[in-house]
Structure 1
Amino acid sequence: MPDLSARETRFTEIFAAGGSADIARALPVEAPVALEFNGIAYAVMMATPANLSDFVTGFAITERLVRSKADIAGIDIAETDKGWIARAQLVPEAAGPVMERARRRVSESSCGLCGIENLEHIARPLPRIAVPLGVEPQAVFAALGALGDHQPLGRRTAAVHAAAFCDLSGAILAAREDIGRHNALDKLIGALAARGIPAVDGFVLLTARCSYELVEKTVVAGARALATISAPTTLAIDRARQAGLALHVLTREDSLLRAM
């Protein structure tokens, strides 16, 4: 079966001291993935075309199109000459948000309120975490130290993000990779849903800066704590505080920052 996640490419390596050499490097595959729900085109994402069923499931959850994997009756993945098409069929009870999205898309073409509606979309309330999750720093350090063992594509290409779900001891229970940090997290959330692992029982670890979208996806998925290797944005901090999400950033093997 062909490798859908990486492709060998030839380069000429040129040395500062003089000379050159022909080498081959594995590059992560970047391809358009069209997402359809109940026959309605929803989005086209640039992604690594691996674990696409997990991607569709996680995307549907974090977009608040569905509440759980049980709302998805089936997923069909097809490759075309222009990219990939992922078609998800939602159960009738869950079709409302997709139909509303389609209705708005028609009106957005001429209403002149697109910017206002998008701002309202960003500012919509997040679910409030009722019981905060206490994560010991040593658990984050342990997970960070073990993360490399769960990044086969990252080791080959040095060009993708990883998202991992860890228990309170720092053991990694699931991990996914993608060229996009949002995609990697959606794939992880989909994998947890497929395996029946409650996100509420552990924390998410990301090889990315902490943007507000990653905070929101983590909260909507039901997780109560997030750790990232890079710094957060101001909006990420604000949204995490509003939701009660425990946030650890700039995580290193010997230190981290805990948001207050």
Structure 2
Amino acid sequence: MAAETVPFSGRNEDGRGFFSTRALVQETAIAFVYNGTTEAVMMATPADLEDFAIGFSLNEGLIEGLEELDALTVQPAEHGIELRLWLNSARTAAYQTRRRHLAGPTGCGLCGIESLSEAMRPLKRVAADTTVSEKEIADAVASLAALQRLHQATHAAHAAGYYCPGRGLIALREDVGRHNALDKLGGTLKRDGVDASRGLLVITSRVSVEMVQKTAVIGAPVLVAVSAPTALAVRTAAAANVTLVGVVRGDTYQVFCHGHRITDGALAQVIDGAHDHDQGSAHR
């Protein structure tokens, strides 16, 4: 259950007190357990958990494909939910090597990663040459907002969606956590066999470095967000060949790197007339 109805009391604009009920987003401890070993525990909305398990596993480099999973079960526990994943023999050997490499007294606490080098692991550059228009950027954000059922009910959930030019928004996942929503989206795209390189990802949050890292693993060439990125996110997107679009408000937006994938409008005119430095910002 993604939301729960609870009673509350409040005060009206006219100063009178009242009692009512409202829907609140669920937040539950979710443990990722690989071959009987807990890798990470995330606070998340208990919905689309198979997608979450697969998306997290792919985005964090714990598996490289669905064929490396022998089994996946969702098991309720006393204080939360366990996502129990069993790896095939080849991936088990790689996982055990990874665990030995990460063993140590220091941790940075990023999605179960236990070393600073793992947190800033190098990414493959996204090779897709997919292009998008200004209208498609605006439509992707508007479509996401219109379909955020959990957020409409609770006003407390993030969303991540996949938008394909010519088809529109074809996948959406919501969660109390922005990273979780993107992991869930990555999982459903992989399970449905969707080629993410043919479209763009759109998110409701700011863009931190982890959101860019996950986008690159998913393979999408364009990441669109309603809020601004961090400086490190911009540098990471530039290195990963991901077009990073932020601060989208209707038909206005800011592009922070690789603006060559935007094919029309004011930004395209700017890029046609000047060198695209990849690290600079261009905006309409």
TM-score (norm 1): 0.92
User: Does residue 1:14 correspond to 2:3, yes or no?
Assistant: no
Matching residue of 1:63: 60
The Cα of 1:239 is off from its aligned counterpart by 0.1
Please give the residue correspondences for 1:42-81 in structure 2 after superposition, counting only pairs within 5 Å: 42-81=39-78
Q: Deviations over 1:190-220 (max 9, x none)?
A: 0001111011111100000011000000001
How far apart, CA to CA, are the structure 2 residues paired with 1:73 and 1:129?
29
* Alignment partner, residue 205 of structure 1: 202
- For residues 39 and 191 of structure 2, the distance between their equivalents in structure 1, rounded to whole angstroms, comes to 22
Q: What one-letter code is carried by the residue in structure 1 that aligns with 2:123?
A: L
Q: 2:89 aligns with which of 78, 87, 92?
A: 92
2:147 is aligned with what amino acid?
A: H
SS of equivalent to 1:56: helix
Counterpart-to-counterpart distance in 2, 1:259 and 1:22: 47
CA distance in 2, matches of 1:80, 1:131: 42
Contact 1:33 1:86 in 2 (8 A): yes
Shift of 1:86: 0.6
**Structure 2 gaps, min length 5:** 109-113, 258-284
Distance in 2 of aligned mates of 1:258 and 1:233:
13
User: Does the CA-based 8 Å contact 2:76-2:82 persist in structure 1?
Assistant: yes
Cα distance in 2, alignment partners of residues 20 and 12 from structure 1: 7
Distance in 1 (CA, whole Å) between partners of 2:7 and 2:165 is 43
Aligned with residue 108 of structure 1, among 96, 104, 111: 104
CA 1:225–1:170: 2 relative to 1, 3 Å: farther
Displaced runs of 4 or more, over 6 A: none
Residue equivalent to 1:235: 232
1:110-149 per-residue CA deviation (whole Å, 9 max, x = no partner) reads xxx656x722123321101224432212111111121133
Give the match for residue 27 of structure 2: 30
CA deviations over 1:45-104 (Å, ceiling 9, x no partner): 000011000000000000011112222222100112211011011222222342134324
Greater shift, 134-143 or 225-234, is seen at 134-143
Contact 1:142 1:170 in 2 (8 A): no
C-alpha distance in 2, partners of 1:44/1:101? 18
The amino acid across from 1:108 in the alignment is G
Question: Which region of structure 1 is more displaced relative to structure 2, 96-105 or 119-128?
Answer: 96-105
Tell me the alpha carbon deviations over residues 129-180 of structure 1, each in whole angstroms, 9 at most, x when there is no partner: 2244322121111111211332111110010000000102471110000000
Corresponding residue pairs, total: 252
Higher relative contact order (CA 8 A, sep 6+): 1
CA distance in 1, matches of 2:66, 2:249: 34
Quote the Cα distance in structure 2 between the aligned partners of 1:172 and 1:93. Answer: 36
Preserved CA contact (<8 Å) 1:133 1:246: no
Q: Which residue of 1 aligns with 2:138?
A: 141
Deviation at 1:259, TM superposition (A): 1.4
Shift of 1:235: 0.4
Residue type at the aligned position of 2:229: P
Alpha-carbon shift at residue 16 of structure 1 (Å): 4.5
Q: Is the 8 A contact 1:40 1:102 kept in 2?
A: no
Q: CA deviation at 1:5?
A: 0.5
TM-score, length of structure 2 as denominator length: 0.84
Preserved CA contact (<8 Å) 1:139 1:169:
no
State the SS of the aligned residue for 1:240.
Answer: helix
Q: Which residue of the partner structure matches residue 243 of structure 2?
A: 246
Aligned position for 2:192? 195
User: What CA distance in whole angstroms lies between the structure 2 residues aligned with 1:97 and 1:26?
Assistant: 43
What percentage of residue pairs aligned between the two structures are identical? 35
Answer with 53-62 or 221-230: which moved more. Answer: 221-230
